[in-house]
Structure 1
Amino acid sequence: MYINKTFCEECRKDVEYMVETAIIKGKIKGDEYEYIGKKAVCTKCGSEVYVTDIEDKNLKNLYDMYRQKKGIISLEKILEIPQKYNIGKRPLSLLLGWGEMTFTRYCEGDMPTKQYSDILQKIYDDPAYYKELLEKNKENLKSPQAYEKSKRKVQELLGEENNTGSKLDLIVQYLLYKCEDITPLALQKALYYVQGFFYAFEGRFLFEEDCEAWIHGPVYRDVYNRYSSYRFDPIESVEDFDESVFTTSEKAILDSVIKNFCCYSGKILEKFTHMEKPWKHTRGDLPVNANSNRIIPKELLGEYFIAVKEKFSMLTPGDIEVYSKYIFEQIKG
């Protein structure tokens, strides 16, 4: 039952509408871009109708595509920086030697110059670089408290970076916390998609462990050994989890994989991975039922998911939905 209504120019009255995913074209500064968006369609006559919220989201997607093509840092990453380093918007602007409201304007959607974008991107990617700026420019800050709070946070981040061995464990615990009735087979495939899509969007791998090309798809051996006793049964869920251990970007990938892949059974996900280059290429000419401990090269995994992101014009982790639906249709066919 449709509950949303808007005015239809063809029907000349308020009508119910449905929302469809569409490839949309738009122009910025004379250049045309294609992006994944939404369109509202009248349920009576099938004409496209205007809905403010949908048009606003499409406009944001257009600007996201522009940022991506021009190498400008995304709005989501800009918004994450103050949280990541525990510093206010105005103090951050002062720290960088910019106008006091400059960073605030970027948070509200203004487009940074390429020069400023590159600085923000490096700050986002590299806590050590931010720490250098903090120490070098701390006199720009109006209060020592702002400096001390941000210093503690960046030191904490650098400490976490030196302890990457626990990242995979945290992801496993989060999946068991968020997913209902997840089996060992489904868990393995979820980890594979988290690693691949995180690399596609962020340009680095989320955890250091390699996966192997087993008969039933990609497998992280240590995780397999930990939960193999469950066999085909769901793994016992985790009752409580501190979600603050993940950054906004990490959580966005995790939640999108949970939403768009963990809704399928382990056997369906196995079929997905059997269609994909990383597993197929690594298995090579092995017989179908041959055991193997061949490692799927990280380079191959990263290249494949970057290609997927580009093929389906993905702008945000939410767009992973398009690929999961596509590959599901492929195995049905």
Structure 2
Amino acid sequence: MYELKKPKERLFCEQCGKLVRYKTIKKRENYNVKNYPIEVERTVAICEECGAELLEPYYENENLKVAYRKYAELNNLVLPEEIKEIRSKYNVSQTLFALILGLGEATIQRYEMGSLPTKVNSDLIKRVSEPVEFYKILKSNKDNIPDIEYKRILGNIHRILKEFENKLEVQELEKILYIKHPEIDIEKMKGLIAGLFYYSKKYHHKEFLYKTVFFKLLWLVEKESKKNLGRQIANLKFIHYNYGPIPKGAKNEEGVLLDYLIKTNLIRMNIDFSKKFLKETYMIGLVDQSPLKYLADEERGVVEKIVKEYGGLSASKLVELAHNDVDFKNSNYGEEIVI
């Protein structure tokens, strides 16, 4: 298999005995690939003057690629774009990838151009799409590559594994969130939170919110939305807790909600020790404001109204306000509060 950039404008026609212009047609034909008949729709060059079939290397090469690809798919062999994707993930060149796998330097280049890999090589390439497997092969063949490249690739693998681990953690946290809040709208929740910080900065010049303030504003927004719009924005559920309503999964011993928001890079949290209250204090800041786009204008209006009215109050004032709330009073500690 070789690389041709484009077809020729004219071809030699033996029937006409000269260079001629041509057109292309499609014909269904069988190619014999490794003693296996593969039917493909072949592109054929036809002389415009006499109608004879002409040989155009570019189209013949492309036809062969189609046949090889179909054979590869039928026999579960790795495809050219899959090899490129694997290389891209680890940020390695064709030559470096081949050396790491213990293959000839030009092998990967040929495969990516459409040549058929052997079953053994195909299985090897597929296997190293998993970072742990690539790490094993890299270690066993480290003498094949320069030390500086070995260390660089090792760093890439560690980063990929960390990202994969984080992705699994986020998926598990999200499952728990859906158990705690069966009707939750994740995008709306993120938009609501982005709105809290946007309007807190706009009206009260606050870059951070105490955790208690953060939870109470979530509660007030969802109550106001239910009252004015006939529905909650994010469908968060709240429970009766020491300092007023908090979202389900937000207890200190659970931490599901905040962990999820941190691991999805929506918020960051700083923990300090308060000499005044002789305990840890949690300050929450926004990392990503883009989810604000998920809120409709009427929903943004609710968030703005609540933050403008209550966002400047201290945590103790908001706790006092929450304790006087009728819905809060009608519930017991640990119970879900019906909004």
TM superposition score category, shorter chain reference: 0.3 to 0.5
TM-score, normalising length: structure 2 = 0.40
Q: Which has the higher strand share?
A: 2
Q: Which has the higher helix share?
A: 1
Larger Rg: 2
TM-score, normalising length: structure 1 = 0.41
